[in-house]
């Protein structure tokens, strides 16, 4: 296989641009009573930042989120690996639902935390202390205690030192039966050994937010490997949108970047409710 052949195969495996298949979204909206939009934060609402503390949602995106959430028969939730309080402050839109720590924390009408994860907080805290000591001499490595989970960041670690980070984390988790390890973009995430992920969070959000007896369209937009669990939940019954060009995804559609996410949210807020009511009027089927 030549390099060109490999490139062509990779491109053919990528999900289709949503802008070329907007008719599918329009048709799905028209067949449902309401819309639940769940959104990842980093890499989706906000651009990926080398320093996680520097991640910011643009004002235009925040306004698009708030306008969409204000529409009747629409609910918006942010589903993040960040601690719930952190992502809620960064988004800055109070009238939303939030799922933090990959859904181990949720806030719809009230705050709830997964009881098994809450019981494992001391275990996670001890792992944070151990890893902070093990990685103290690795420049750029950071260990973030998120209460119910922990994240090891290595985006700013020199390439030759990344194996030392991964080895330390894998060694610690491998020696324990009460922790599990997942990966993301330049992060390693430690979680309690609980059967829960963003897919389970989406199911819980549907149960909490969709009115009884109504048929709502669920949509999930995300960019990272942890979002794949949510994409899988929506297979054959919702709209899953991958942010970025990575072909390794369960999502059938993609948009280019967080700015394209903002455009999609603008389009949904402007025209989505009309399609839900079955009266699209002058709403365009041109791509957002």
Q: Where exactly are the structural domains of the chain? A: 3-112+201-276, 116-192
40 is catalytic: yes
CATH number of 3-112+201-276: 3.40.50.1000
CB 122 within 8 A of CB 150: no
- Please report the pLDDT score of residue 6 as a whole number: 34
Domain 116-192 has CATH 3.10.105.10: no
pLDDT of residue 12: 47
pLDDT for the residue numbered 130: 94
**Mean pLDDT, the chain, as a whole number?**
90
- pTM for the structure as a whole: 0.88
- The catalytically annotated residue of 4, 5, 13, 40 is 40
> Per-residue pLDDT for the chain (288 aa), expressed as one digit of tens each?
333 333 344 444 567 899 888 899 999 999 999 999 999 999 999 999 888 889 999 999 999 999 999 999 999 999 999 999 999 999 999 889 999 999 999 999 999 999 999 999 999 999 999 999 999 999 999 999 999 999 999 999 999 999 999 999 999 999 988 999 988 888 999 999 988 999 999 999 999 999 999 999 999 999 999 999 999 999 989 999 999 988 889 999 999 999 999 999 999 999 999 999 675 555 555 545
């Amino acid at each position: 296989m030549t390099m060109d052949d490999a490139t062509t195969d990779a491109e053919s495996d990528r999900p289709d641009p949503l802008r070329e298949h907007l008719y599918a979204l329009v048709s799905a909206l028209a067949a449902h009573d309401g819309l639940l939009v769940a959104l990842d934060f980093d890499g989706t609402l906000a651009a990926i930042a080398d320093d996680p503390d520097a991640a910011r949602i643009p004002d235009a995106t925040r306004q698009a989120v708030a306008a969409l959430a204000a529409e009747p028969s629409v609910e918006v939730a942010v589903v993040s690996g960040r601690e719930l309080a952190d992502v809620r402050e960064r988004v800055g839109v109070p009238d939303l639902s939030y799922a933090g720590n990959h859904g181990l924390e949720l806030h719809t009408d009230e705050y709830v935390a997964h009881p098994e994860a809450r019981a494992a907080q001391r275990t996670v805290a001890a792992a944070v202390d151990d890893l902070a000591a093990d990685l103290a001499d690795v420049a750029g490595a950071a260990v973030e205690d998120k209460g119910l989970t922990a994240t090891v960041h290595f985006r700013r670690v020199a390439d030759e030192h990344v194996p030392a980070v991964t080895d330390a984390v894998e060694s610690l988790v491998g020696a324990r039966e009460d922790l599990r390890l997942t990966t993301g973009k330049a992060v390693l995430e430690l979680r309690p050994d609980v059967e829960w992920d963003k897919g389970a969070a989406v199911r819980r959000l549907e149960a909490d937010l969709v009115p009884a007896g109504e048929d709502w369209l669920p949509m999930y937009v995300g960019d990272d490997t942890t979002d794949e669990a949510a994409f899988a939940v929506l297979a054959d019954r919702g709209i899953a949108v991958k942010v970025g060009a990575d072909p390794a995804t369960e999502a059938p559609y993609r948009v280019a970047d967080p700015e394209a996410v903002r455009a999609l949210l603008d389009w949904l807020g402007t025209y989505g409710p009309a399609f839900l009511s079955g009266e699209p009027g002058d709403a365009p089927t041109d791509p957002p």
